[in-house]
A and B are shown apart, each in its own frame.
Chain A
Amino acid sequence: MQEFLDMGGYAGFVWPSYIITFGLLALVFALTWRLLKTSERRLEALQAARGRRPRGKRGAGPAAPAQSQSQPQARETEKAPAGAAGESR
């Protein structure tokens, strides 16, 4: 085991290489996961705040919600849905 950890005397070069490689890849994955979860939570919160609205007929992608701008409850905001909804309800 000691021999394995020693890496033939090059432990100071081999192990840092592997630690930096997999440490950085793990960090990028962790940041990606956090970004994804934050975005999905924000989207869910917004969609929940908008209530049950009919979805776009085709391709409800990023541009789709903008097509239904005229609906009154679209004035609700993410942070204060109840307060912001006061003017439209």
Chain B
Amino acid sequence: MTGELTAALSAEYAAIFAYGPIGVQLTGAEQAAARAAEAAHRTLRDALVVSLTGSGLPPAAAAYRLPEPVVDRAAALRVAISVEEKTAAVWRAALSATVDAQRRQALEALTGCAVRATRWRRFAKIDPITVAFPGKAPA
């Protein structure tokens, strides 16, 4: 059970890291959304740290590889979508490895990531803004 949650923790560290450069390239409502998303990922990370205490927590890395350089607004939106899709995938995987409170934690996290990805697709004018199976790799 802890393997999947440890993977989720690493993904959350990476998400928090990514929202730094993402926020720099955005303004207005999009920047506010980036700040809210970063805060949400910090909350998920903190809950995981509590959940995993005593099971050998992976440390946060100094830096994470981004899918592309965040050089402008369009890149920021693409990376934000990517971040939410990747975190959704690790949380979806955690569902199969958890029960009860941890399953609920994983489901709430998956849902939050999926909803944020939807918002970023709307900002990026990607159509459709929804996917059929959030967190599942496209067939």
Whether A associates with B in a native complex is no
Residues of A that sit less than 8 Å from B by CB:
none
